[in-house]
Amino acid sequence: MQELISGLHHVTALAGNPQKNIDFYAGILGLKMIKKTINFDAPDVYHLYYGDEVGNPGTIMTFFPYQDIPKGRKGAGQLTYTAFSIPVSALGFWLDRLQTYQIAYTMPQKRFDETYIQFEDFDGLGVELVVTEHDKRVGRASGTIPAEMAIKGFYTVTLHEYSIDRTVKLLTETMQHKLVAEENGRLRFESGSGGAGSYTDVLYTTDSVRSLQGAGTVHHVAFATQTDDTQLLIRENLLSSGYQVTPVIDRNYFHSIYFREPGNILFEIATNPPGFAVDEPLEQLGSRLKLPAWYEPKRDLIEKGLMPVEVNYF
């Protein structure tokens, strides 16, 4: 069977203040700002991308910092926590670092065979660090974070659902995931060749509140597909399973289709090519405000409408 999904591609969330967002993800977590652009549908709002050195799929966290939208609420029908992996020897380093920057975190807990901690960004978005020796990706040094302590990319995401049967059917029958673990109402699926960055957890609870979209909540999760052809194949699969799927949309750095899974979480399938070097050299990723060609003539106006920000790696 041809592989249609190779893992997670990116997670996109809503934020408040763009500078605080940069200070959290680049400054404290040490993710690299790989692209500073605008929301193509709302050019007065940034679209900020963070990731590894080159923005590999499976490392990319992106935000629309709307500044003045109300905070959202975690709950069912939402991706509530995005987990990043760190090396086994790095847990103490991260506990110290979070304390230094006054980020409250849960004490290390066990889940399946891993240790993890939970905390929130400045808007309340759920983040986890998972300690694992099985992630062979290499982290990047950033500010006072040495490479051997650095975050490597996504580990898993948690889809928080009221009922799971149809979501499980979608993941396993239409999206080629397989169930690899189950514990306390949490089902873990993996795609592609498996491992960190290929997991999706479905968490089943009946007693939680319904989620509310706003700052500090995830807008959608994107799964990675290798080519435009595999994207069209999975689109056919989705359509024949009864999903309403958008046509392919050009997002400049990848091509995308979108649909809602049965629990109402917005899913995207994004192609790995062309990637983030399509409009600036790899060594300059994220350094300049990038606009799609059709907005270039309005660059002055667009730049004036955006809050000035700077990227500092603490």
Residues that bind Zn ion (CB under 5 A): 12, 222, 268
Residue type, 10: H
CB of 14 to Zn ion, least distance (A): 12
The residue (of 105 and 243) whose beta carbon lies closer to Zn ion is 243
The residue (of 132 and 156) whose beta carbon lies closer to Zn ion is 156
DSSP string covering the chain: ------EEEEEEEEES-HHHHHIIIIIIT--EEEEEEEETTEEEEEEEEEESSS--TTSEEEEEE-SSSPB-B--BSEEEEEEEEE-GGGHHHHHHHHHHTT--BPPPEEETTEEEEEEE-TT--EEEEEE-S---PPP--BTTB-GGGS--EEEEEEEEES--HHHHHIIIIIS--EEEEEETTEEEEE-TT-STTSEEEEEE-SSSPBPB-SBTEEEEEEEEESSHHHHHHHHHHHHHTT---PPPEE-SSEEEEEEE-TTS-EEEEEEEEE-GGGSS-GGGTTSSB---GGGGGGHHHHHHHSPP------
CB of 171 to Zn ion, least distance (A): 18
The residue (of 114 and 268) whose beta carbon lies closer to Zn ion is 268
CB of 301 to Zn ion, least distance (A): 25
CB 284 within 8 A of CB 309: no
Residue 24: how many CA atoms within 13 Å on its side-chain side? 25
CB of 11 to Zn ion, least distance (A): 8
The residue (of 132 and 198) whose beta carbon lies closer to Zn ion is 198
The residue (of 60 and 151) whose beta carbon lies closer to Zn ion is 60
The residue (of 41 and 113) whose beta carbon lies closer to Zn ion is 41
The residue (of 9 and 152) whose beta carbon lies closer to Zn ion is 9
